[in-house]
Amino acid sequence: MDHEYDVVLVGSGIAGAVIAKTLTQAGKRVLLLEAGLAAGMALSPEPSYANYQRYLETFYSKANKATNGPYPDLPDAQSPDVLQIEAKTPYDEGYLVQNGPLPFASDCLRSPGGTTLHWLGNVPRMLPNDFQMKTLYGQGVDWPISYDDLKPWYEMAEYEIGVSGDVAAQVGPDMDRSNYGDDYVFPMKEIPQSYQDQVWMKNTENLSVSLYGKDYNVTCVSMPQGRNSIPNPAYRKTGIFWNDETKRLELAGDEPGKYEVVGAIWDQNTGNRCEGNASCVPICPVQAKYNALKTLKKSDHSKLDIATQAVVSKLLVNDTTGKLDGIEYKVYANPASPIYTTKVAKGKIYVLAAGALENAKILLSSNAANSSDQVGRNLMDHLVMLMWGLFPEKVYPYRGPGCTTYLPTFRDGEFRKDFAAWISPLDNWGWSWPTFAPGSDVSNGLAAGKFGKALRDSLADTVTRQALLHFECEQAPDPNNRITVSPQYTDLLGNYRPVIQYDASDYMRKSFEAAKKVGDQIFAANGIEDFTDYNPSDADYVTWKNRGYTFWGAGHIVGTHRMGSSPADSVVKPTQQTWDHDNLYLVGCGNMPTLGTSNPTLTMTALTFMAAEAILKQLEA
């Protein structure tokens, strides 16, 4: 690859796929470097089908159904693994070097398609107030752009992902029809809310709960999702195009009833509707759930070169011009071997789309884009507090996708001055997250001497009544929650591993207390017997006012190279060009200054379309 590309792009997750598709469709020549295996990049029917069936077989054969379980574990391009998160720091036996004091609890996937292979697919938008946390609540920072600035890009992201949902139902604090506009609909109709959700809603919708002397009205809202449903005949958009005249990226089309459901990458006729397999995380068997390979496949492949098994090691910064001269990467043939060849890719513009951990790691390894000293800092996640119990009646979890309903009540309010806001999805996966049910129910039954009919009866009685409610608390940016690199910690190819320093602040711990008080009232209203058990041996066990709480990671790895309005305290401009190098752009969740209470993929995808337009403008200038 000795010739020069318009753009050299690193990573084929959703951010990379959006860049690859948008730029090549606009006629630009792109080289995409992907660290994962060549087999996973297959986009034509037979090899992509065969590869995906291997993922499925791996998933079915593993006792533990953790997020990265179905996908190859590559010593040359390791992914973090939630199974390696332990209640001790420092800890460096996994991919992440955990310096603590608490271990960082989320993972991502370094593979073609990125973490969208195992994501859940919840895609609520952020709230307008989320963009002004400093001004309104004195917490964190304001974004350099507003909700209204992002709104047209949200529509593009919702088209690209293929969102199923009911706009009219999106009502809650700081959220109503005006967030979307009068006539707006999602491309597809909402996924039906599960039977379990209907049971929850009977006693939860309009429940009044009291918290620190104030009453709140709890409501239940259908969750917008990146998985296929019935096309909405009122949806009018048909595609995203670069308009060469206006130099704008446009969501085009004004004709109802034309939305085309995007099926599996191996067969357009597979996965046209969610089939309710309930294994969304870690893998949708039919690809009714969106994944980034669907976007990548729509690229103009005559303009796109893809190099797989190509792990970026360093950005070559020219100290004189302040620009990048190239990207150095290591190509391996065998993912478990330390043997590699080093290559350099050259383009007019470089785009890092490798995820918040890897982007920061690459920048720190290259001493690039860091005049603000913000690279690697402000690492954030949703801190997930779980509550689990048994319903008095059978509610039959595992029918439908992982989440079809959420409680918006504590997503925004004056309380954000005092403790973190949260979104509460109703989970459709029994106790699988906290206790590894239903496998653990079987083992426990066997340990109690049950077998045969007695075992089946006890499973039929308890597994069907398992309730899980969770609270995704918005982690505020903290410069000391950070990734660094050190020559002491490298991987098999000699690339750095992320060294993480991480903690949960009082602002977060107080939100656990608040969420538990709310959860207790919801459980009581539903007659749910509480089996929640936070144990000091849990990996992320914290205390607040002498009570213990455990949080889990949400897989929402955000921050590390934030966007801002000043080069003094941010890494990228609102265009997502780095302040320091005008031919280097960063895309992905790392750009988000704060997290809000939304699953971040939708917002990040909207930002990435903004970046794609900025890159095209720069290339055409």
Provide the binding-site residues for another protein, judged by CB under 8 A.
Answer: 38, 41-46, 49-50, 53-54, 57, 230-231, 260-261, 263, 266-273, 275-276, 297-302, 305-310, 331, 333
Strand partners, 286: none
Pick 333 or 446: Cβ nearer another protein:
333
Task: Select 303 or 617, whichever has its Cβ closest to another protein.
Answer: 303
In a 13 Å sphere around the CA of 289, the CA atoms on its Cβ side amount to: 25
Give dist(CA 142, CA 563) in Å, integer: 10
Residue 230 Cβ, how far from another protein at the closest point, in Å?
5
| Nearest CB to another protein, comparing residues 174 and 300 | 300
Yes or no: say if 124 and 217 are a contact pair by the CB < 8 Å rule.
no
What's the min distance (Å) between Cβ of 117 and another protein?
A: 17
Q: How far is the CB of 291 from another protein (least distance, A)?
A: 15
Give me the least distance between CB of 558 and another protein, in Å please. 31
CB of 228 to another protein, least distance (A): 9
Q: Tell me phi and psi for residue 52, to 5 degrees.
A: -70, -35
Query: Would you say 297 or 450 has its CB closer to another protein?
Result: 297
**CB-CB contact of 581 with 130 (8 Å):** no
Work out how close the CB of 269 gets to another protein at its nearest, in angstroms, rounded to a whole number.
Answer: 5
Backbone angles phi, psi at 538, to 5 degrees: -65, 150
Q: How far is the CB of 67 from another protein (least distance, A)?
A: 23
For the record, the structure tokens of 529 come out as: 């017997």
Shortest distance (Å) from residue 268 CB to another protein: 7
Q: Cα 435 to the chain's mean position, in Å?
A: 23
| H/E run at residue 150 | helix 147-161
Separation of alpha carbons 312 and 35, rounded Å: 7
The number of residues in the chain equals 621
Q: Which two tokens stand for residue 468?
A: 């899980």
Number of Cβ within a 10 Å radius of residue 133: 24
Q: Closest CB to another protein among 208 and 341?
A: 341
- Distance CA(621)–CA(616), nearest Å, equals 9
CB of 37 to another protein, least distance (A): 10
What residues are paired with 172 via a beta bridge?
175
Shortest separation between residue 261's beta carbon and another protein, angstroms: 7
Q: Provide the 10 A C-beta neighbour count for residue 435.
A: 18
Residue 129 token pair = 């107030």
Taking the complex as a whole, the smallest distance from the CB of residue 72 to another protein amounts, in Å, to 15
Least distance (Å) from another protein to the CB of residue 143?
34
Instruction: Give the closest residue to 381 by CA, choosing from 434, 429, 420, 432.
Output: 420
Q: 54 or 450, CB closer to another protein?
A: 54
Residue 183, number of CB atoms within 10 A of its CB: 9
DSSP-assigned states of every residue in 523-574: HHHTTPEE-----TTSTTEEEETTEEEE-EE-S--B-SS-B-S-TTT-SB-T
Give the helix/strand (H/E) hosting 613: helix 601-620
- Residue placing its CB nearer to another protein in the complex, 273 or 323: 273
Cβ 112 to another protein, closest distance in Å?
10
For residues 221 and 612, which CB has a smaller minimum distance to another protein in the complex? 612
Compute the distance between CA of residue 501 and CA of residue 484 in angstroms, rounded to an integer.
Answer: 8
Q: Residue 157 CB: number of other CB atoms within 10 A?
A: 27
Nearest alpha-carbon partner for 391 in 508, 543, 202, 526 = 526
Minimum gap (Å) between residue 40 Cβ and another protein? 11
Check the CA dihedral 576-579-585-589 and report its sign: negative
Between 44 and 566, CB nearer to another protein: 44
CB-nearer residue toward another protein: 13 or 231: 231
Q: Which is nearer to another protein, 15 or 188 (CB)?
A: 188
DSSP 260: P
- Closest to another protein by CB, 257 vs 322, is 257
Looking at beta carbons only, is 339 or 446 nearer to another protein? Answer: 339
Cβ proximity to another protein, 274 vs 508, nearer residue? 274
| Residue of 225, 151, 146, 145 whose CA lies nearest to 181 | 151
Structure tokens at 60: 């079915």
**How far does the chain reach from its first CA to its final CA, in angstroms?**
25
Q: Pairing mode, if any, of strands 482-484 and 405-407?
A: unpaired
CB atoms near residue 238 (< 10 Å): 15
Between helices 14-25 and 601-620, what is the axis angle to 10°? 30
CB atoms within 10 A of CB 414: 9
Name which of 329 and 534 has its Cβ closer to another protein: 329
User: Minimal distance in Å, beta carbon 300 to another protein?
Assistant: 8
